[in-house]
């Protein structure tokens, strides 16, 4: 769903094209009856630009800013996303059944015994790492080579947490340099979720094209979601031993 009027997509009376995030902020502030000056300061634009954009709001008959959650819900349904995937050492399943999925920091704070999946993680963003629809087979293969004695379990999770939990969206592995340089505010935007399914993305190997992918599969196998909150047991759909 494209929420920015075409006029504001182009360089015109409004200067630089508007992003969806900026447009949502503009609509919200306008509905809160903020002054032109306050809106201009918030968005780092001129009052003339804001006046023209508000005219577009009136002509478009926009009355409320779109809810990010409602957009995510529509996106999940449109793409037929039925599950998110987490994999972990099978030794951790007993505690996961009791406590749900917790970040490493929260596991440590709760003095909960666990076997760490990735002691060499380089993205430095705390949270629970998930993929969409399919397991990250690339990482499973890597971890199996490093830890040949460990058996792995696959955990399927209700995709509604993309709406209800604070999430960061990465179109490839979160440790890739371009991902490390992006702010959490940017990574939590709806556009970052939709970017996981772009026709082309940049990963460590170069430019990856979207080929032979189902609508609910990310363009890059290593695309990931980092969930900033704990994931309760109630959101776990099923768990099983990895056989692939």
Q: Tell me: pLDDT of 33 over 80.
A: no
Cβ atoms of 236 and 99 within 8 Å: the answer is no
Q: Tell me: pLDDT of 121 over 60.
A: no
Q: Which of 29-43, 64-78, 122-136, 179-193 has the lowest mean pLDDT?
A: 64-78
In percent, how much of the chain has pLDDT > 70? 84
Report CA dihedral (138, 143, 146, 152) to the nearest 10 degrees. -130
**What b/e sequence results for 112-136 when a residue is b if at least 16 CB atoms lie within 10 Å of its CB, and e otherwise?**
eebeebeeeeebebebbbbbbbebb
How high is the pLDDT of residue 143?
87
Q: How far is CA 74 from CA 21, 60, 64, in A?
A: 17, 22, 17
Q: Which two tokens stand for residue 157?
A: 């999770």
Q: Which residue has the higher pLDDT, 118 or 148?
A: 148
Per the prediction, the chain carries an average pLDDT of 84
In order of their start, the domains of the chain are 6-60 (1.10.10), 80-241 (no CATH)
Instruction: Tell me if the pTM is above 0.85.
Output: no
Instruction: Work out the pLDDT band at 14, boundaries 50, 70, 90.
Output: very low
Q: Tell me: pLDDT of 117 over 90.
A: no
The string of pLDDT tens digits covering residues 172-217 is: 999 888 888 888 888 988 889 999 999 999 988 899 999 999 999 9
Instruction: Work out the pLDDT band at 161, boundaries 50, 70, 90.
Output: very high
């Amino acid at each position: 769903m494209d929420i920015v009027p075409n006029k504001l997509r182009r360089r015109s009376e409004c200067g630089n094209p508007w992003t969806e995030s900026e447009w949502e902020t503009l609509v919200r502030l306008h509905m809160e009856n903020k002054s032109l000056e306050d809106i201009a300061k918030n968005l780092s634009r001129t009052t003339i630009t804001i006046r023209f954009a508000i005219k577009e709001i009136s002509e478009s008959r926009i009355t409320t800013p779109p809810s990010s959650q409602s957009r995510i819900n529509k996106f999940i349904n449109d793409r037929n996303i039925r599950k998110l995937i987490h994999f972990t050492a099978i030794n951790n399943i007993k505690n996961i059944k009791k406590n749900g999925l917790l970040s490493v920091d929260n596991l440590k704070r709760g003095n909960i015994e666990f076997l760490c999946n990735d002691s060499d993680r380089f993205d430095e963003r705390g949270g629970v790492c998930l993929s969409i629809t399919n397991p990250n087979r690339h990482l499973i293969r890597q971890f199996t080579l490093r830890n040949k004695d460990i058996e792995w379990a696959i955990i399927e999770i209700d995709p509604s947490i993309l709406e209800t939990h604070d999430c960061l969206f990465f179109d490839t592995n979160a440790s890739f340099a371009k991902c490390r340089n992006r702010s959490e505010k940017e990574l939590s935007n709806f556009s970052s979720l939709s970017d996981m399914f772009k026709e082309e993305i940049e990963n460590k190997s170069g430019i990856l094209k979207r080929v032979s992918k189902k609508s609910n599969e990310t363009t890059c196998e290593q695309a990931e979601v980092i969930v900033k909150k704990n994931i309760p047991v109630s959101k776990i759909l099923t768990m099983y031993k990895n056989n692939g």
